Amino acid sequence: MSASMSEPADVSLDEARQLLTDLVSIPSPTGEERKAAERLVAFFELHDREAWIDEVGNVRAPADDSVLLTSHVDTVPGEIPVEVQTADEDDVDAEVADETGEDVLWGRGSVDATGPLAAMAVAAVRTGVSFVGVVGEETNSRGARHLVADREEPDAVINGEPSGATGITLGYRGFLAGTYVATSESGHTSRPEPNAIQHATEWWTSVEDAFENDEYQAVFERVTAKPVDMDGGISDDGLSVEATLDVQLRIPPSLDAESVRETAEAELEIGTVSWAEPIPPVMESPRTEVARAFRVAIRNEGGDPRLLRKTGTSDMNLYAGTWDCPMVTYGPGNSELDHAPDERLSLSEYDQSVKVLERVATTLSGGEE
């Protein structure tokens, strides 16, 4: 059942908040997670927990595998001055004070997903359950991909992303990324024949039309198609026009990556498109033992549970695609502040989420509540 057993240990409120502040204060954009990972290892070792950084950079702290708490260490780039703004400060932002009435931590990653990461680390130490901090979630999820290939399946998974202290995320759309490439002969721009840049834009317009949705259909149930980068122009030798178009498609649980890819390729007449490894959609049942444990824990902490479906994609998609165990995603923070220039987290919400996670982990590991 467990990779190794660890005794629960006490973590004070001040120490829990300090861990959060320290991690937010350490820049950890994708590819630069090492220092934040070392801070996490030090936290576990301080509480007599075995922890190490594996070959891809993940923080591993195995223990009772009744539940695995896991979130990502990396953040998107962007510097936001790290500060704790107290509710009773004279210059406190009125909008923030109205929103929380509590102390607020500002900084990149405070919401996505260093807040959930720190909350899970604290809850893991307090309850003696397994923990992993993964790397690379904001780009190619290399940490999660390595984890599912390298680790045995736990009994349950709680993935860390902002849902708010009362939100339980059960579903995410899948993800498919592709790169279109076309080349055409160069010629005078007065000629009517389309060049490679036009071929690229015509293909993508056709793809968007193929996935046209009913405006009354929920976004979660749609395929959304987005171009994310384009490069084109005369080649270095001046003999051709070249075009490269990077695209992303989000996949609802009613479809799979193969069918979405086939639809996009059916619109392809000129040029080629190569696809990255897809991430499948996921939709978990609200009736699993994990979801039930969260509803009870949130109510016991004075909250009203909310079941959520997210239009984006997370590492939970990969876990669900490989491991056949119940799972949800949970964590403090307003997801509307993901990647935002005003990213911030209510510290009282962080405290509440730690207590919820502690209750859930205790329930799933067979402890008393």
Q: Which whole-number Å values give the CA distances from 50 to 15, 40, 75, 146, 192, in the listed order?
A: 19, 11, 25, 20, 68
Question: Is residue 254 helix, strand or coil?
Answer: coil
Q: For residues 169 and 307, what is the distance between their CA atoms, to the nearest angstrom?
A: 6
Q: For residues 260 and 176, what is the distance between their CA atoms, to the nearest angstrom?
A: 8
- The amino acid present at 236, given as its one-letter code, is D
Which bin fits 37, alpha (ψ -120 to 50), beta or left (φ > 0)? Answer: alpha
Q: Which of 103, 137, 242, 284 is catalytic?
A: 137
Number of H helices, E strands in the chain: 10, 16
**Torsions phi, psi for 95 (to 5 deg):** -65, -45
The radius of gyration of the chain from alpha carbons, rounded to an integer in Å, stands at: 23
Q: For residues 21 and 14, what is the distance between their CA atoms, to the nearest angstrom?
A: 10
Q: For residues 316 and 284, what is the distance between their CA atoms, to the nearest angstrom?
A: 10
212 is catalytic: no
Q: Which helix (DSSP H) or strand (DSSP E) does residue 40 occupy?
A: helix 34-46
Q: For residues 227 and 245, what is the distance between their CA atoms, to the nearest angstrom?
A: 7
Q: Which of 33, 64, 65, 74 is catalytic?
A: 74
Taking alpha carbons only, the member of 141, 176, 122 closest to residue 319 is: 141
Taking alpha carbons only, the member of 149, 157, 204, 207 closest to residue 181 is: 204
Q: For residues 310 and 332, what is the distance between their CA atoms, to the nearest angstrom?
A: 15
- The amino acid present at 133, given as its one-letter code, is G
Taking alpha carbons only, the member of 227, 246, 243 closest to residue 235 is: 243
137 is catalytic: yes
Catalytic residues: 74, 137
